Amino acid sequence: MISSTEQHEFRTFPARLLGDEPDAATRGWLEADVIGFLGHKPTPAHLRAMAGYLVSDGQTLTGVYDLEGPEQALHGDIPVATFASFEQPLTVSPGVQLAAHLISSITVRATHRRQGILRRMMTDDLTRAKEAGYAVAALTASEATIYRRFGFGAASYVHDIAVTTDSRFALTSTPSGRCELVDPGSIPALAPAVFERFHRSQPGSIGRHSQYGDRVSGRLTEEGDEDRGRRAAVHYDEAGTVDGYVTYRFAGWESKPHTIAVNDLVAATPDAYLALWEFLASIDLSTRVTFTSASPDDVLRYALVDPRVVQVTDIEDRIWLRILDPIAAFQARHYRADGSVSFRVSDELGFAEGSYRLTTKSGDGIVERLGDESAVDLHLDAWVLAALYLGGTDPRVTAAARVLVEHTPGAASTMAELLAPSATVYANTYF
């Protein structure tokens, strides 16, 4: 699909390979994406690998091309802005998943900002997603000030943690099973089954795109080569089944204290998670382990004799959601309490605009659309609705922040009770 303004041409197309090579449009798009995220100029092998991932995921790409750039400027097949979208399942309640429209690779060249390019790409893409029947869209954001204007709200968070692993590290009990070192090259084959068990039970988890295995194993880094410092271990349960894995690398002798940096840690059971941490803490010549994707309510802290060995060094938003169809979205998830609350959504882009009543009973939710003049309990913007959806954000907090208006006293507390998740909302995947 192609459309143009006086200066820019917007082209939307599927990622394609011609044999093993990306076609010209995909190659140019990839080069622009690397530029936007400050990466190294890709080698031919790296381009082939990245194009293969895009095709495997069925990604739809948008490139914006400058029709009037000077002869010396980087233009032609290399767009001045990029945008990608594809589908993955979002776990909205344990065992319940919803097809999510994922958005990634958003870049606009510094020389072409403030020309309405991002708004055009985003609006066009969300319109296509709405027309295709998606109830939710999602993205991970490099900058936190951009996406509320498009109706996205931060719906899950992760903690960066640093764990002291000297003599103070001790678990209160011994987890079952055992850990073993493995070749990190085996992780891409082992990881999907482990991740799927974790993913289906974890509210907020997003399905992983095809390059994840190569990236976490170190087989292909952001620079396009192999990370030969990467190591891996797996956990076997009592039956000998792999139910957890970790990939990591030594941060270097210059790190003080000597540090093991975790790249990825996925466990299908609490025993697997704790056993992998016990393994990491036992690695000789190091006294600290860092992990940038820990749960906000990490079980490790409660399992330690001294919980102060865990320090939170940063808190980061992870999944930003956008509700495209409030009725379909809220009827998809499960509920722990019975009750009813009505709310009006203001949506600049119009997708979620309107008044609704959510009624929950015996775990199910029914949403009805109300008339525009109907009295409602709450009023909120689309980005606030998205932040609340999974239950990881408390409506009472958003009311205190004055981004949710309570017309009926106690309605924010009612919504908090209805939306309370059955487990901590957590996503260990970025895209």
Is 83 a catalytic site residue? no
Residue 214: count other Cβ atoms within 10 Å of its Cβ.
Answer: 18
Q: What is the predicted pLDDT for the residue at 71?
A: 60
> Is there a contact between 77 and 61 (Cβ–Cβ < 8 Å)?
no
Tell me the average pLDDT of the chain: 95
**What pLDDT was estimated at residue 37?**
93
DSSP string computed for 131-144: HTT-SEEEE--SST
Q: Are 109 and 80 in contact (CB under 8 A)?
A: yes
* 59-101 pLDDT tens trace: 999 999 998 766 656 767 899 999 999 999 999 999 999 999 9
**Fold category of 2-134 in CATH:** Aminopeptidase (3.40.630)
pLDDT in tens, 127-153: 999 999 999 999 999 999 999 999 999
What percent of the chain is modeled with pLDDT above 70?
97
pLDDT of residue 5: 64
Question: Tens digits of per-residue pLDDT, 318-330?
Answer: 999 999 999 999 9
Q: Does domain 320-419 sit in CATH 1.50.10.20?
A: no
How far apart are the C-alpha atoms of 320 and 332, rounded to whole Å?
18
Please, where in the chain does CATH 3.40.630.30 lie? 2-134, 158-316
Name the CATH superfamily, with its identifier, for domain 158-316.
Gcn5-related N-acetyltransferase (GNAT) (3.40.630.30)
Q: Is 147 a catalytic residue?
A: yes
Asked if pLDDT for residue 221 goes beyond 90, the answer is no
169, 212, 291, 431: the active-site residue: 431
Rounded distance between C-alpha atoms, residue 117 and residue 6, angstroms: 13
Q: Which residues contact 78 (CB under 8 A, 6 or more apart)?
A: 28, 31, 32, 35
CB 205 within 8 A of CB 426: yes
3-state secondary structure of 205: coil
Per-residue model confidence as pLDDT tens digits over 187-213: 999 999 999 999 999 999 999 999 999
CA-CA distance, 311 to 53, in Å (whole number)?
36
Residues of the chain with CATH 3.30.1050.10: 320-419
Provide the pLDDT confidence category of residue 169 given band limits of 50, 70 and 90.
very high
Q: Residue 4's pLDDT is what? A: 60
Which one of the listed residues 83, 134, 147, 330 is annotated catalytic?
147
Averaged pLDDT, 45-62: 96
Q: Is residue 57 pLDDT above 60, yes or no?
A: yes
pLDDT tens digits, 1-19: 776 666 889 999 999 999 9
In degrees, rounded to 5, the angle at the alpha carbon of residue 251 between the alpha carbons of residues 248 and 256 is 135
State phi, psi for 296 to the nearest 5 degrees: -60, -20
Scanning the structure block, which residue is given the tokens 């190591």?
231
Supply the pLDDT for residue 431: 94
- Strands 242-250, 230-236: parallel, antiparallel or unpaired by DSSP? antiparallel
H-only helix segments in 18-150: 24-36, 44-57, 117-131
Q: Give the confidence band of 285 by pLDDT, cuts at 50, 70, 90.
A: very high
